Amino acid sequence: MSSTQKSLSTTYIAAVIAISLWGFSFVWTNILLNYRVPVFTFLFIRLAIAGILLLVFSRLIGKLQKINLKDFLWLSLMAFSEPFIYFIGESYGMKATHSPTICAVIIASIPVFCLFVEKILYRVPFTFYKVIGIALTLPGILLVVFEDGSLSAEHAYGIALLFLAVAGATGYATVVKKLSGKYNTYTIATYQFLMGAFFFLPFFLIWGTDGLTREFFTWKIQLPLLSLAILCSCIAFGLFITVIRNIGITRANIFSTLIPAVSAAGAAMLGQEAITFSKIAGISIVIAGVILAQHTKK
């Protein structure tokens, strides 16, 4: 095997690990919600741990850059979009739907919604593949959402919140595109998590401190919480940076479409959800739609 093949194999392994961790993030979040841990409790602590770890790591390897004062406004807008708006929509959306699979499927549509932003802001034209991909994504989501044939008011509320998370992530991607030309990924990620924790701090002090019970510090709660902070926010992000650098954002996003499949499998293994034909069909259609929407001619 040549060095190029070895490098590509390593990149694909890194992508699979990152996607697996992100797929399980929905499962670990659902565990915390099932234990009735307040949303603002685990979100603030998760971001604070991730931000501090990235700050220390980035400084140790000499990757943390000095921020220009005028760019703090853009960094604040970035952190407000994601993680603040994104995690509120994702966590409360999952709390209402009680479904890691529904959550993961809707979140997986983020690259498709980013195409609309590119069209509006950067005048990137829609291609045949983009149109077909977008047209496929919606019925795939509907197959998963309407699996039981109807939609309760609580589920509708949760789905609306999940699309709020999609809007947050789309806004984040737009701002990051502006900042990525000036700062490296370690700097952006460090400030993203630290400023995100700062946004959540008032909500934690008002509604989150009640969650700091004796049970909160037991291993059954700390394990999924630390998994989210260390594995999903730090390690998976670092691995995906390598993937994007080696194979590009478009090919990397193709791997990210597998997140709903991982979430569905993980939820099934832990007895949180059953895998049904509708879910398999819906997830498959969404994956196909997102991949097609990102197709580009070489």
Q: Quick check: is 236 in a domain? A: yes
Q: Check pLDDT > 90 for residue 26.
A: yes
Q: What is the pLDDT of residue 17?
A: 92
Give 120's pLDDT tier (boundaries 50, 70, 90). confident
Q: What percent of the chain has pLDDT over 70?
A: 95
How many other C-beta atoms can be found within 10 angstroms of the C-beta atom of residue 59? 12
Q: What is the pLDDT of residue 124?
A: 79
User: What is the Cβ-side half-sphere exposure of residue 75, based on CA atoms within 13 angstroms?
Assistant: 21
Q: What is the DSSP letter of 217?
A: G
Q: What is the pLDDT of residue 54?
A: 93
Q: What is the pLDDT of residue 68?
A: 93
Tell me the C-alpha distance between 186 and 89, whole Å. Answer: 25
8-47 CB burial, b ≥16 within 10 A, e <16: eeebeebbebbbbbbbbbbbbbbbbbeeebbbbbbbbbbb
CA distances from 285 to 225, 238, 281 (A): 31, 29, 6
Mean pLDDT on 245-260: 76
Q: Which long-range contacts (CB under 8 A, 24 or more apart) does 120-127 make?
A: 121/174, 127/295, 127/296
Q: Check pLDDT > 60 for residue 22.
A: yes
User: What pTM does this model have?
Assistant: 0.91
* Higher pLDDT, residue 237 or 83: 83
Residue 203 CA from chain centroid, whole number: 21
Q: What is the pLDDT of residue 255?
A: 79
Tell me the C-alpha distance between 112 and 167, whole Å. Answer: 11
Tell me the C-alpha distance between 21 and 23, whole Å. Answer: 5
Q: Quick check: is 209 in a domain? A: yes
Q: Render pLDDT for 180-201 as a digit per residue (tens, 0 to 9).
A: 888 888 898 899 999 999 999 9
Mean pLDDT on 253-278: 87
Host domain of residue 81: 3-293
Q: Quick check: is 298 in a domain? A: no
Q: What is the pLDDT of residue 106?
A: 93
Tell me the C-alpha distance between 94 and 154, whole Å. Answer: 11
Give 9's pLDDT tier (boundaries 50, 70, 90). confident
Q: Quick check: is 196 in a domain? A: yes
Q: What is the pLDDT of residue 21?
A: 93
Q: With contact defined as beta carbons under 8 Å apart, do 141 and 109 qualify?
A: yes
Q: What is the pLDDT of residue 249?
A: 66
Tell me the C-alpha distance between 228 and 232, whole Å. Answer: 5
How many other C-beta atoms can be found within 10 angstroms of the C-beta atom of residue 207? 13
Number of structural domains the chain divides into: 1
